[in-house]
Structure 1
């Protein structure tokens, strides 16, 4: 079945529907992608923030293809010209950096923040997934 997607908000329910129609859970899709269920849940909750590459990986897994078609223009409007040169916006000049106020301070130097581990030596690092 074909679905026309005209806004990013339409992407979430369509991805969810294709996953469910394939009989897959979020955990199953995540396992097939080689990521955690939480990572896939984030993608499914907000697919607009995912990269196109990641969306294509999910679509391939769900046997979904992307088709693009040009919509008809409104009556009386002219079609957009693609051969016309694009007008470039001027690039704003860089702002001057303000002098550091630390050089103007008097008194003892500030201590660097402590890099002590939490009590018990337990640290948690967020796993960065490369998919």
Structure 2
């Protein structure tokens, strides 16, 4: 399933959700990353302040890939998906 995001603040619920879906606690994530639980909690609370390198490491532990895609113009999307949304 894809989870599009337009702003860095949208990362927080995604990171929490992926971590919980993986069955990991913040302490376990921190251990995998070689940081303290408090540091990981801060990263999860405000992921937009983390470095890209740190975020990629977190996503690697969670086995989550980043896929970049050009944003679609809503008119183009409707033409290519006529049966969805009217």
Q: Structure 1 stretches of 5 or more lacking a match?
A: 76-131
Q: Which has the larger radius of gyration?
A: 1
Aligned length: 75
Q: Which whole-Å deviations, capped at 9, do the CAs of 1:61-116 have from their partners, x for residues lacking one?
A: 000000010012476xxxxxxxxxxxxxxxxxxxxxxxxxxxxxxxxxxxxxxxxx
Q: TM-score, normalised by structure 1?
A: 0.55
Structure 2, unmatched stretches of 5+, are 76-86
Compare the two structures and name the one with the higher helix fraction: 2
- TM-score of the superposition, structure 2-length normalised? 0.82
Residue in 1 that maps onto 2:38? 38
